[in-house]
Structure 1
Amino acid sequence: MNPAELLDGYRDRSCARQWRGFLRAMAAEFGQALPDEESARLMARIGQRFADAHPLPPAATVEALQASVNAVWSECEWGWAAFEERHDQLRIVHACSPFAVALGPGNGWQHGFLEGAYRHWLRAAGMLAVLDVRHLATENRDLSIFTVARVF
């Protein structure tokens, strides 16, 4: 067995089979009923509700915030996040969310959920109003990358 087959096996287990049919049908309906931008906004609102239901404790550092976020993701088996501080932005790399398996391929709006959750948590942590969370395109289905930077 090669490494790609092993990784596919782990991916396959990232979303319970009992939910796949429902979630893929829902994704297909979103795709048919709404433009991608609207679906992304809807998913961001759902992410915000999720984050609101899973409030984080106060955090004095980016490392503490990352640890709190990862405690939530670990509890619901949604992968993990790495926060990377850069001179002009904060980058969030979220690995191994179950979306690729749960919703199937081709849903460009699936990152909206994570974007909404991160936006809500960062605002609650004191993110300045001139900053926002945005998804960055990536070809890796196992990673969602976000930037927290000034909104122009």
Structure 2
Amino acid sequence: MHKGIRARERKPPWLRLLAPDGNIAQLEAAVCGTCGRWVLRCRQGVWEAWDPGVIQGDDLTVAIILGVRLTRLKTVYGMCGPTLIDVCGERGIRSDGQYLAEHRCGFAPISLTPYKPAAKARQPGKPWASGIKLTEEDVREFERIWNMPVKELKCLTRSKVN
């Protein structure tokens, strides 16, 4: 935060979940130098500012209608904080995703919904393929296809398509 710039509102306590120390997306919580609102700044590549409210559900429809640029929040388990994935217009937007809107000075944020990390997909310490049983026949078939030359593999896929 620059000297002389004061936040217009209190810092939301959940910003530490979006921008923890050592996060992979290089996000930092900061005060916008123009309007004084809290924003998330991405310091990776081109520096961008995002409103910290999570957009999902009906707010997502509003953001699309207003033509606001969005980025998807993706949780990477084992990493510190979420990563950002840019979407192009309406392409790449999923109805069950969580998004951040580009910060626009002078405009009210579309959402003030706090960020809650998604539930973990698997228990920590448990192998990825737990519960999957492979037979010897499955392993032999995999090895046969894995060692197959590319020309034969292309012919094999064409014959299955036709």
- Identify whether the pair has TM-score above 0.5, normalized to the shorter chain: no
Shorter-chain TM-score: which interval? under 0.3
User: Which of the two has higher C-alpha Rg?
Assistant: 2
Q: Which structure's relative contact order is higher, taking Cα pairs within 8 Å and 6+ residues apart?
A: 1
TM normalised by structure 2 equals: 0.23
TM normalised by structure 1 equals: 0.24
Structure with more helix by fraction:
1
